[in-house]
C-alpha cells in the first residue's frame, strides 16, 4: 500500500531497510489496539509499549561509543506517523526530551536517565518555550538563581509536550552569564519536584498532552545542570538541529498516509460512470502529491544522512527538510481531503485526522517563517565568503 522504493536510495543501508520493514509490520498490528480516547493514558501506554518492544532504544544512544542514528530516527517517525500521530509523538518526545542529556549530558546524567527513557520507564519533556518567548528564544525569562549547593528556578513555560505526564523535564533558564542567548543554562527537573506546578493543560485541534508549567521555588542540585553555565542556548539549538529533521519525517509519514488513502478512494469511488481516478484533473492531484512526497523525502533523508556521516551541524539541511516536508504535507493532506469529498471532513475519518495532526508541525520546533530565516542566513553567509 505504501511506496517503499525510497528505501533503495543511497542514503540507506541494509539495516535501515530491515528496521523500516519490521517497524511497519509491528505498527500495523499493535497500534490499532491502543485506545486514543484518554490522551494521557494512551501516551503512557504507547511509551511503555514502544519501550518494551525496544523501539525507544533508537531515541538515545546507549553504552560506550554508540551514536544517535538520525536515519533510523527519521524512518521510525515516518513509519509511526503513517499509523498514529500519537505514537509518533510519544516516540519523538522521548528523543527530544532526553536529547540534551544524550547529546551533552555527563556520564552520571546519562546513566541516571537514558536507560529509563530508552525503555519507556521515564517519560521525557523539553521545556524551552515561554508565554513571551516562543520564536524569540533568547528572550527567556525563567531564572535559575544559584543558592547553596544548587539552583532555584522561578518562572513559567508554556506549550510543553508531555507536560503533566513527564517524569523528566529538561528546562532552559536564565543564569545570567551574559545578556540574551548567552545567559541561559539547561537543567534536569524531575516531574515530582514540588516546585514544578502544572498550571494549565492545553487542548489543541489534534489532542496531545500539553501544558503550561510554573516553577515556584523549584530547587535542583548543581549536578542537574547539563553542560556548563551559559551553554543552554547552544544545547537547545544543537538538539533542535537533530530533531527538527525528524519533524519533517513525521510530516512525510502523514503525507504518505494521505496519498495511500486517496489512492484507495479515487480507484474505488465511481463518478460519471467510471472510477474517480480516471479523471485527468484527479490524476494531476495524485501526481502533485507523489512529487511533493518524494521531494520531501529527499530533503529529510539528505539531512539525516549528512548528520550520520559526520556533519557537526546540519542547521541549513534540517531547516530545509522541516520547512519543505511540513508545508508539502499540508498541501498533500488538503488535496486528500478535497478528493474524499464530504467524507474528507467527516470526524475521525483518517484524512480528517491527518488534516488536524499536520497543522502544528508547521509551528513547533521553529515555525516555517523561522526556518526560512535560518536558510536565508546560511545563503547570505555563503555569499559573504565568495
Ligand X SMILES: Cc1cc2nc3c(=O)[nH]c(=O)nc-3n(C[C@H](O)[C@H](O)[C@H](O)COP(=O)(O)OP(=O)(O)OC[C@H]3O[C@@H](n4cnc5c(N)ncnc54)[C@H](O)[C@@H]3O)c2cc1C
Q: All 3 cell numbers of residue 179? A: 545578556
Positive/negative CA dihedral, 228, 229, 234, 240: positive
Closer by beta carbon to ligand X, 87 or else 306? 87
Question: Cell 508565554 sits at which residue?
Answer: 131
Closer by beta carbon to ligand X, 59 or else 277? 59
Residue nearest to ligand X (CB): 134
CB of 268: closest distance to ligand X in angstroms?
34
- Cα 83 from Cα 81, distance rounded (Å): 5
| C-alpha of 21 from chain center | 21
| C-alpha of 221 from chain center | 29
CB of 99: closest distance to ligand X in angstroms?
11
Cβ neighbourhood burial of 192 (10 Å; 0-12, 13-18, 19+):
exposed
Closer by beta carbon to ligand X, 68 or else 360? 360
Show the binding pattern over residues 206-245: x = contacts ligand X (CB under 6 A), - = does not.
--x-x-----------------------------------
Residue from 123, 225, 370, 374 touching ligand X (CB under 6 A): that is 370
CB of 385: closest distance to ligand X in angstroms?
24
Taking Cα atoms as reference points, which of 145, 174, 140 lies closest to residue 157?
A: 140
Closer by beta carbon to ligand X, 128 or else 282? 128
CB of 386: closest distance to ligand X in angstroms?
26
Instruction: With contacts defined by CB under 6 A, name the span among 153-161, 297-305, 321-329, 331-339 that binds ligand X.
Output: 153-161
Looking only at the bridges linking them, the beta strands covering 124-127 and 168-174 are parallel
Does 367 bind ligand X (CB under 6 A)? Our answer is: yes
Give the number of other CB atoms < 10 A from CB of residue 261. Answer: 22
Closer by beta carbon to ligand X, 261 or else 357? 357
Query: What contacts 66, CB < 8 A, 6 or more positions away?
Result: none
Contact residues for ligand X (CB under 6 A)?
126-129, 134-135, 159-161, 204, 208, 210, 360, 363-365, 367, 369-370, 373
Amino acid at each position: 500500500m505504501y511506496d517503499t522504493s525510497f528505501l533503495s536510495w543511497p542514503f540507506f543501508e541494509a539495516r535501515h531497510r530491515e528496521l523500516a520493514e519490521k517497524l511497519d509490520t509491528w505498527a500495523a498490528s499493535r497500534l490499532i489496539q491502543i485506545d486514543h480516547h484518554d490522551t494521557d493514558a494512551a501516551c503512557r501506554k504507547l511509551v511503555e509499549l514502544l519501550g518494551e518492544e525496544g523501539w525507544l532504544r533508537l531515541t538515545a544512544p546507549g553504552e560506550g561509543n554508540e551514536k544517535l542514528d538520525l536515519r533510523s530516527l527519521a524512518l521510525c517517525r515516518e513509519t509511526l506517523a503513517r499509523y498514529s500521530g500519537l505514537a509518533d509523538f510519544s516516540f519523538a518526545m522521548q528523543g527530544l526530551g532526553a536529547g540534551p542529556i544524550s547529546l551533552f549530558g555527563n556520564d552520571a546524567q546519562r546513566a541516571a536517565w537514558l536507560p529509563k527513557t530508552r525503555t519507556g520507564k521515564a517519560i521525557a519533556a523539553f521545556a524551552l518555550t515561554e508565554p513571551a518567548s516562543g520564536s524569540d528564544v533568547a528572550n527567556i525569562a525563567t531564572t535559575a538563581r544559584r543558592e547553596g549547593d544548587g539552583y532555584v528556578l522561578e518562572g513559567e513555560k508554556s506549550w510543553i509536550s508531555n507536560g503533566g505526564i513527564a517524569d523528566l523535564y529538561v528546562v532552559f533558564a536564565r543564569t545570567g552569564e551574559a545578556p540574551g542567548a548567552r545567559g541561559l543554562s539547561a537543567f534536569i527537573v524531575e516531574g515530582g519536584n514540588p516546585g514544578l506546578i502544572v498550571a494549565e493543560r492545553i487542548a489543541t485541534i489534534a489532542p496531545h498532552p500539553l501544558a503550561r508549567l510554573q516553577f515556584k521555588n523549584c530547587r535542583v542540585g548543581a549536578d542537574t545542570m547539563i553542560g556548563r553555565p551559559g551553554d543552554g542556548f547552544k544545547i537547545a539549538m544543537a538538539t533542535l538541529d537533530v530533531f527538527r529533521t525528524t519533524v519533517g519525517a513525521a510530516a512525510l509519514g502523514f503525507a504518505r498516509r494521505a496519498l495511500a488513502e486517496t489512492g484507495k478512494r479515487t480507484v474505488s469511488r465511481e463518478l460519471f460512470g467510471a472510477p474517480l481516478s480516471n479523471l485527468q484533473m484527479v490524476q494531476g492531484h495524485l501526481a502533485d502529491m507523489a512529487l511533493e512526497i518524494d521531494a520531501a523525502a529527499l530533503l529529510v533523508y539528505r539531512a539525516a544522512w549528512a548528520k550520520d556521516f559526520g556533519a557537526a551541524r546540519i542547521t541549513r539541511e534540517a531547516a530545509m527538510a522541516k520547512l519543505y516536508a511540513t508545508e508539502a504535507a499540508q498541501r498533500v493532506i488538503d488535496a486528500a481531503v478535497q478528493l474524499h469529498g464530504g467524507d474528507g471532513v467527516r470526524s475521525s475519518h483518517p484524512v480528517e485526522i491527518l488534516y488536524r495532526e499536520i497543522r502544528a508541525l508547521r509551528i513547533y520546533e521553529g515555525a516555517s517563517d523561522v526556518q526560512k530565516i535560518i536558510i536565508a542566513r546560511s545563503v547570505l553567509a555563503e555569499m559573504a565568503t565568495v
